[in-house]
């Protein structure tokens, strides 16, 4: 099997991730400030993970990083906690439904869409014009999970701040795969998931909130501290309540350490080399239409094949060639107008650190055969 669906979930996981999770299941549970046992060693996982994630995200305040079940939970927490129900917010047309659905289902007073170009980049001139209406918050998908277009967070944050708003960046496709410097770029809130470029298990992720920005917690419950208190004031930031996903966080720590040991810059170069090779190989194949910047930016591109629906294309690739891709609208429905894809979406290919050039060549051969450009030997 050739796995080219890393934007959905990174696979295979490093052995270190599997071993870390197994060890976490075998040792006594962490006390979370409540008990003293051999599980005390497990207490080190979360602070170590905060420190490692600070390096991944490019921030100097690891205490401002918090862990959840993933990007969807994190986004819901931030959207509800910011209390945007009476406010104007902007979203790019490249946003994922984990942003759009919480906002469109009672999370914001007014929602305006920032248009995107056919390659997935936001129309920056249009955004600057729109910002004259002073939104409270702007949501930007840093790396499109459809086209791989990477947005300029530094410029966008500057414009948003000049308009008096805050910038929330969805880093689901870029954390661990693209160098980040959230503090330098002025990102107010950064959302990440653990099971993609960070190489961790599903059910992990979190968010970063810059210092001096308060977001009301969405959940209340046990913290292992100050158990006599039932009511908190408006400054309380208890974002991690209840029993932690200790095995998941241990696996995420192992994944993040794998990323750091290889180096995000080197990972970015390797994955860009692979996706750029694919772009060059298939762009001239008759009947194929590509949806991606030229040259590619993130480790993702999408395409459609003339004469076949995306669903049929993906079916043939899997059952005829054992190549795993992704098909549909990829939970980014607002991009439809910009990309002018078929009504059923596109086929998405995404690479990871384990993707080889031979696998890219295999996809090229398959697509040539499917379009009649080459015969099977």
Q: What is residue 211's predicted lDDT score, i.e. its pLDDT? A: 96
Q: What's the half-sphere exposure (Cβ side, CA atoms, 13 Å) at 233?
A: 1
Using the predicted structure, report yes or no on whether residue 180 has a pLDDT greater than 80: yes
For residue 377, pLDDT beyond 50: no
Same domain, 325 and 193: no
- Give me the CATH number covering residue 287: 3.90.1150.10
User: Does 79 score more than 60 pLDDT?
Assistant: yes
Residues 285 and 235 in one domain: no
Q: Is residue 377 part of a domain?
A: no
Examine residue 76 and state whether it is found in any structural domain, yes or no. yes
Please report the pLDDT score of residue 16 as a whole number: 98
Burial (Cβ within 10 Å: 0-12, 13-18, ≥19) of residue 235: exposed
What is the CATH classification number for the domain harbouring 31? 3.40.640.10
What are the pLDDT digits (tens) for 99-156? 999 999 999 999 999 999 999 999 999 999 999 999 999 999 999 999 999 999 999 9
Same domain, 230 and 316: no
Contact criterion met (CB below 8 Å) for 257 and 52? yes
For residue 375, being part of any structural domain is answered with no
Are residues 270 and 253 both part of a single domain? Answer: no
Q: Are residues 179 and 298 in the same domain?
A: no
pLDDT score for 43: 63
Q: Is residue 312 part of a domain?
A: yes
Query: Mean per-residue pLDDT for 60-89?
Result: 97
Domain of residue 97: give its range: 15-262
Check: CB of residue 176 under 8 Å from CB of residue 190: no
Q: Please, are residues 300 and 143 in contact by the beta-carbon 8 Å criterion?
A: yes
* Average pLDDT taken over every residue of the chain: 93
Q: Are residues 124 and 253 in the same domain?
A: yes
Q: What is the pLDDT of residue 148?
A: 98
**pLDDT recorded at residue 244:** 87
Confidence category of residue 42, pLDDT binned at 50, 70, 90: low
Q: Is the peptide bond before 314 cis (omega within 30 degrees of 0)?
A: no
Same domain for 311 and 257? no
> Above 70 in pLDDT, residue 38?
no
Final residue before a domain boundary, out of 207, 230, 262 = 262
3-state secondary structure of 42: helix
Q: Is the pLDDT of residue 230 over 80?
A: no
User: What local confidence, expressed as pLDDT, does residue 221 receive?
Assistant: 84
Last residue of a domain, one of 220, 247, 262: 262
More confident residue, 2 or 339: 2
Q: Are residues 64 and 22 in the same domain?
A: yes
Together in a domain, 170 and 227:
yes
Stretch 150-177: mean pLDDT: 98
Rounded Cα gap, residues 90 and 137, in angstroms: 6
Q: How many domains, the chain?
A: 2
- The answer on 215 and 284 residing in a single domain is no
At residue 373, the pLDDT reads: 66
Does pLDDT of 172 surpass 70?
Answer: yes
The last residue of one of the domains, among 213, 235, 262, is: 262
Residue with the larger pLDDT of the pair 137 and 337: 137
pLDDT digits (tens, 9 = 90+) for 250-306: 999 999 999 999 999 999 999 999 999 999 999 989 999 999 999 999 999 999 999
Domain co-membership, 281 together with 248: no
Let me know if residue 376 belongs to a domain. no
Contacts of 260 (CB under 8 A, 6+ apart): 52, 55, 56
* 327 assigned to some structural domain: yes
pLDDT in tens, 343-366: 889 999 999 999 999 999 999 999
Q: Would 277 be classed as within a structural domain?
A: yes
**280 belongs to a structural domain:** yes
Residue where the block lists tokens 């459609």: 304
Q: Read off the pLDDT band of 36 (50, 70, 90).
A: very low
75 and 151 co-located in one domain: yes
């Amino acid at each position: 099997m050739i796995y080219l669906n890393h934007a959905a979930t990174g696979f295979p996981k490093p052995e270190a991730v599997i071993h870390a999770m197994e060890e976490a299941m075998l040792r006594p549970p962490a006390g979370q400030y409540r008990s003293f046992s051999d599980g005390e060693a497990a207490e080190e996982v979360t602070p170590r993970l905060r420190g490692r994630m600070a390096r991944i995200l490019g921030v100097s305040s690891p205490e401002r990083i918090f862990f959840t079940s993933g990007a969807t939970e994190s986004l819901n927490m931030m959207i509800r906690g910011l209390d945007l129900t009476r406010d104007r917010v902007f979203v790019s047309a490249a946003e994922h439904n984990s942003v759009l659905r919480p906002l469109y289902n009672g999370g914001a007073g007014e929602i305006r869409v920032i248009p995107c170009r056919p390659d997935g980049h936001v129309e920056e001139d249009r955004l600057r014009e729109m910002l004259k209406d002073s939104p409270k918050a702007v949501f930007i998908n840093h790396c499109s999970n459809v086209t791989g277009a990477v947005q300029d967070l530094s410029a966008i944050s500057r414009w948003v701040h000049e308009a008096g708003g805050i910038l929330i960046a969805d880093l689901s496709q870029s954390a661990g795969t693209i160098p980040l410097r959230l503090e330098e770029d002025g990102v107010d809130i950064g959302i990440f998931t653990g099971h993609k470029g960070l190489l961790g298990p599903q059910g992990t992720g979190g968010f970063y909130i810059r210092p001096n920005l308060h977001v009301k917690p969405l959940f209340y419950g046990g913290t292992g501290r100050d158990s006599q208190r039932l009511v908190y004031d408006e400054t309380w930031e208890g974002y991690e309540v209840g029993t932690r996903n200790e095995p998941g966080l241990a696996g995420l720590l192992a994944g993040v350490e794998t990323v750091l040991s290889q180096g995000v810059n080197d990972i970015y170069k390797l994955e860009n080399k692979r996706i750029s090779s694919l772009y060059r190989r298939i762009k001239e194949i008759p009947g194929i239409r590509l949806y991606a910047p030229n040259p590619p930016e993130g480790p993702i591109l999408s395409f459609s094949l003339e004469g076949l629906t995306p669903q049929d294309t993906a079916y043939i690739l899997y059952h005829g060639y054992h190549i795993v891709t992704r098909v549909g609208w990829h939970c980014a429905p607002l991009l439809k107008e910009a990309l002018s894809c078929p009504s059923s979406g596109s086929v998405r290919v995404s690479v990871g650190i384990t993707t080889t050039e031979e696998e890219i060549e295999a996809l090229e051969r398959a697509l040539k055969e499917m379009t009649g450009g080459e015969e099977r030997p």
